[in-house]
Amino acid sequence: MKRRILRQYLGQTDDDIDRATERLERQARIATQLREAGRDTGIADELLSHFERSLRTLRDDRALILHALER
């Protein structure tokens, strides 16, 4: 049962990583467009940084789940 739950978490984490990657890519495009238009990108860059940290956390979570499944 524990392994089944871990596999479900793994699947959910994979989905979360996919969505976070899409948000990160979209935000990077927005920041680039703003920069090219000569606009202030401070807030856009902060949001991009937040998305990067979130993605790293999700990937770390995934690694922990995989480690638990290997035991």
Report pLDDT digits (tens) over 21-70. 999 999 999 999 999 999 999 999 999 999 999 999 999 999 999 999 98
Domain count, the chain: 1
What is the pTM (predicted TM-score) of this model? 0.84
Enclosing domain of residue 10: 2-70
- CB of 10 within 8 A of CB of 66? yes
Phi and psi at residue 37, in whole multiples of 5°?
-85, 0
pLDDT at 3: 87
Cβ-contact 41, 31 below 8 angstroms:
yes
Distance of CA 7 to the CA centre of its chain: 19
pLDDT-derived band at 71, boundaries 50, 70, 90: confident
* More confident position, 42 or 3: 42
Q: Which amino acid appears at position 32 of this protein?
A: T
Alpha carbon of 27 to those of 7, 11, 36: distances in Å? 30, 24, 14
* Per-residue confidence (pLDDT) for residue 2, from 0 to 100: 87
Give the single-character DSSP code of 1: -
